[in-house]
Amino acid sequence: MADPWSRPNMDDLRSVLESIGQSDVDHSRNAERLELSVPAELQTMRGNTVSAMTREISRYGIGLLHRGYVTPGDVTVRMASETRQFEYRVKLEWCMPCDNGMFISGGRFLSQKSITS
């Protein structure tokens, strides 16, 4: 049995995204969203760390996929590329269950705390 809080892998992400499909609803978004599938971590207000994968990102916010429910509120999101590490403060605005015991969530950026190389 896999750890219920472990980081989703690319197959998990692909499966969930396929099950969600494209929405016919116009969300009236202010910024273009780009698909982005990279490992991330969320640190909750209580100090818990949850492994995640990003789903999409825009200039204003980010969408995430993770195991386990995360209470909406202020969180820190960390992502890394091969050369840099990014840390953002995010106001997580929603979290809902989807397939395979996974959850999708989304929020808006409050600030960028740091970039390190």
Q: How far apart are the C-alpha atoms of 42 and 45, rounded to whole Å?
A: 10
Q: pLDDT digits over 80-89, tens only?
A: 777 888 899 9
Confidence of residue 10 (pLDDT cuts 50, 70, 90): low
> How many CB atoms are located within 10 Å of the residue 95 CB?
17
CATH H superfamily, domain 10-19+35-116: predicted glycosyltransferase like domains (2.40.10.220)
Q: pLDDT digits over 41-78, tens only?
A: 999 989 999 999 998 888 899 999 998 899 999 999 99
Q: Are 49 and 67 in contact (CB under 8 A)?
A: no
Reported pTM: 0.71
